[in-house]
Amino acid sequence: MQTGLSATLLAALGLFFMLLYAMGIALTARNSYASMSLRREIEDVKAQNALLRYQINLTESNQRVRQAAQQMQLRPSQVQEVDYVVIPGSAEDPGMQLATAGPTRASAGLAATLAELATEVVGSARGRAEASTEQGHRL
């Protein structure tokens, strides 16, 4: 009888330790998963913060440009205030044909051509622009 009781006790003790071991593994797995989940969430929040910082910087930059323009007493041009200048010899340019045909959606080539032209014109016409802002506060 004594041997049967000790064998039962030994088997119960073995099952108890196996149960403790299994519970430890389950807790470790759960904690590991929670840790990985939190790391992913932290990375997502950092990415969102970076995007928000970029948007804030962009907004502040736009506000600085507007403030500088207001200090120079500049304002957006109205459609009736815009005069178009045709440069001799450039009528063959497809971008120019689009510009003279009326309002249409500009192609990428036209946008690049106009950007280059604007850069050249703004550099050479700075004095005239300042004079026109003094007269009528417009470019």
- State the pTM of this model: 0.36
Query: Tens digit of pLDDT per residue, the chain (139 long)?
Result: 677 888 888 899 999 999 999 999 999 988 888 889 899 999 999 999 999 999 888 888 888 888 888 888 888 888 888 877 777 766 555 555 555 554 444 455 666 676 666 666 555 444 444 444 444 444 4
* Other residues' Cβ atoms within 10 Å of the Cβ of residue 113: 19
Domain regions of the chain by residue span: 1-71, 79-136
Cα–Cα nearest to 85, from 100, 70, 98: 100
